[in-house]
Each structure stands twice: as C-alpha cells, then as structure tokens.
Amino acid sequence: MNAVTTGIAQRIGGWFSKPSETVVAAEQAALRSDRFRLEREADWKRLDAILKRMEAGRTRGLSDEDLLALPTLYRTAASSLSIARETSLDAALVGYLEALTQRAWFLVYGPRASLWSWFRGFLGGGWSASVRGLGVDLLIALALMVAGTVVGWLLVASNPEWYYSLVPGGFADERVPGASREVLRGTLFGNQDQDGMSVFAASLFSNNAQVSILCFALGFAFGLPTMLLLIHNTALLGAMLWLYHGQGLLLDFVGWLSIHGTTELFAILLAGAAGIHVGRSMAFPGNLPVMDAAAAAGRRAAQVMTGVVLMLVIAALLEGFARQMVDSTPSRLIVGGFMLVLWTGYFFAFRRGVR
C-alpha cells in the first residue's frame, strides 16, 4: 500500500470514527433545551393548569395563591419565550411557549366583559354619554341640516328646474313640479300595499344610510366633506317639502315622513356630528398631538356610529311595519313625534350608568 492509499484510508476512518460538527451542534442544542425546560417546566405546568381552570369557567375554585401568582407566572413564561427565541432552542418548545403566553395574556390583560355586558353598558349610558360628548359638533351639524333644507327650498322656489338636480331620479317618479294635488296625495295615502311606495321608501332609507356612513367616513378630511354632504342631502328634503307645500300637502308629507324619518334624520345628525368631531379634533387638536387628538375623538365617534347603525335598523323596521299600519296624518305625527321625544330624552336626559 503506497503512501497515497494509506492517507486516503486514514481520512475515511477518521470520518466514520468522529461525529460531524452538525451532529455535535444538534446534540448540544438538545441538551440546552432539555436543561432549559427542566429548570422552568414546573412554572409552565402550573400556569397551564391555572389557565385551563379559568378557561373552563372554574375561576372561583382557584386559590388566592394561584390568582396572585398568575401575573408573575405569565411574565415568567414570556421571559422564557424571549430567551428560547434568542438562543434558537427547538421549534417545538418555542411553539409551546407562544401558545401558553397568548392564552395567559388574554386572561391577564384581555377584556373582562362579555358581549352582553358590553351591550348593556352601551345602552345603559355609554352611547348617550358619547353623543353628549360631541357637544358643539351636534349644534354645527343641526345648523347645517337646517341650512341645507332652507337652501333646497329657496332654490326650487326660484327655479323649479333645480328640483331635478337636487332630487335623484329614483325619488322623482310622479313627485315632480307641476304634479296635481290628487297625484301627490295619492303618493301619501291609501297605497300601503303598492310596490311603488315600498320601493320609494326603501330608496329613501338606502340613501339616508349611505349618507350617514359617508358623513362619518369623510370626517378625517377636517370635516369639510361631511359638512357639504349634510347640506346637499337636506337640500333634497327642502325641495320635496316645497313640492308638497305647493299643493297644500306639507303637513301630510311631514307626517308621512316622520314615522321613520325622525329616527333616520336623527341618525344622520349624529353621523354628521361624529364626522365633524373627528375633523375638528384634527384641525384644532389643542395641547395634544394631532394623532392623539384624532384617536380620542375617533373612539367617541365610533361608539356613536355603532348606535347610528342601530337607529337605522329601527328606522327600517318602522318603515316596514308602522307605515303599513298607520294611514292618517295625525297618527303618523304621533308616531314620529314619539320617536323624536324618545331619542332626545335618551341622549340628553338619560344619564344612568355614566361614570
């Protein structure tokens, strides 16, 4: 055997006699992982046992010692997870600790109230308090809506052609300038079972719902688009009021509209005020940074908008059922007036549960 052959044989023997560096590194990592687990596993198991009892709704069965230890055990598990990630311990251990810390975080820092508890608090004072918190923005939105109604009336009174610009085609079937009293009156009474009236009411509701959402969504642009939208939408109302007034049916139209209109228009008022509130907080943040002021205003406005959605649902129910049952102007005014008093009283007189 020559020298070259001998050298090759020695190298091959060395490869089989000595473990590779990869194998050695894996063994060392496993040893570190086992040692790490043994040192801390008792705390992890205790935390897991506490979490299982709480997740199963048996919190009352836990001892005071376990409840007091829960935050400490959570922080210990979070610290262990951080170390396991930094030292590249095995993936199974890291996955176990991630799941454990997520469960613990939810129970230690997560929301305590159930959906039903939140809803009771929302209706029991949270919503009305948020509405009152809009303050001057409500007055601004109300003034804009009144101004829009007046502008719409004056425009069509000066030139009836404005009516076709202000009132969408879906609203202006036979309700157009020049229509006779009989035709206009026929749109208000005695046709609850006719599809045309249902389509018109549904179109009106859809329009108001879209306006409510847009009024809030456009508030981020310093509230200016919200203001313009409020004026434009109520100009439509002013044009239709002028139309029915011309045939001596103004009160009848107001009664027809009030059944669900007082709720819908109140919802638009709140949505507009919420959008203006966000925009005004960004334009005039006071001593707060702009983003902090916008975030605080956004939280209040979002709660108001949650209630606006509820109001629109109620308005849809009133439109779908009350309109079918009530066919006289006095009765309609009573229903609409009752809803207006109900909303006003709830928002500005009902303060139970406010902290």
* 256-277 tens-digit pLDDT: 899 888 999 999 999 999 999 9
If asked whether residues 32 and 153 sit together in one domain, one would say no
Domain boundary, last residue among 66, 84, 109: 109
If asked whether residues 76 and 211 sit together in one domain, one would say no
Q: What pLDDT sits at residue 29?
A: 56
Q: What pLDDT sits at residue 352?
A: 59
Residue 158: inside a domain, yes or no? yes
If asked whether residues 134 and 259 sit together in one domain, one would say yes
- Token match 């990592």: residue? 29
If asked whether residues 236 and 333 sit together in one domain, one would say yes
If asked whether residues 190 and 82 sit together in one domain, one would say no
Residue 275: inside a domain, yes or no? yes
Q: What pLDDT sits at residue 196?
A: 46
- Record the pTM: 0.66
Residue 3: inside a domain, yes or no? no
For residues 265 and 21, what is the distance between their CA atoms, to the nearest angstrom? 76
What does the mean pLDDT of the chain come to? Answer: 81
Q: What pLDDT sits at residue 255?
A: 92
If asked whether residues 126 and 103 sit together in one domain, one would say no
Q: What pLDDT sits at residue 192?
A: 59
C-alpha dihedral (232, 250, 316, 324), degrees to nearest 10 = -160
Q: What pLDDT sits at residue 320?
A: 73
If asked whether residues 300 and 181 sit together in one domain, one would say yes
Residue 247: inside a domain, yes or no? yes
For residues 354 and 129, what is the distance between their CA atoms, to the nearest angstrom? 7
Ranges of residues in the chain whose predicted pLDDT is under 70: 1-33, 88, 110-115, 170-173, 191-205, 323-324, 351-355
Domain boundary, last residue among 53, 78, 109: 109
The DSSP result for 105-150, as a single string, is: HHHHHS--S-HHHHHHHIIIIIHHHHHHHTTHHHHHHHHHHHHHHH
If asked whether residues 35 and 129 sit together in one domain, one would say no
The boundaries of the domain holding residue 340 are: 117-348
Residue 354: inside a domain, yes or no? no
Q: What pLDDT sits at residue 21?
A: 59
If asked whether residues 90 and 121 sit together in one domain, one would say no
Instruction: Return the ∠ at Cα 46 (arms to 41 and 50), rounded to 5°.
Output: 145
Q: In the chain, how many domains are there?
A: 2
If asked whether residues 147 and 291 sit together in one domain, one would say yes
For the stretch 299-333, pLDDT in tens is 899 999 999 989 988 888 887 777 667 888 999 99
Whether 266 contacts 343, CB under 8 Å: yes
Whether 140 contacts 215, CB under 8 Å: no
Three-class DSSP category at 90 = coil
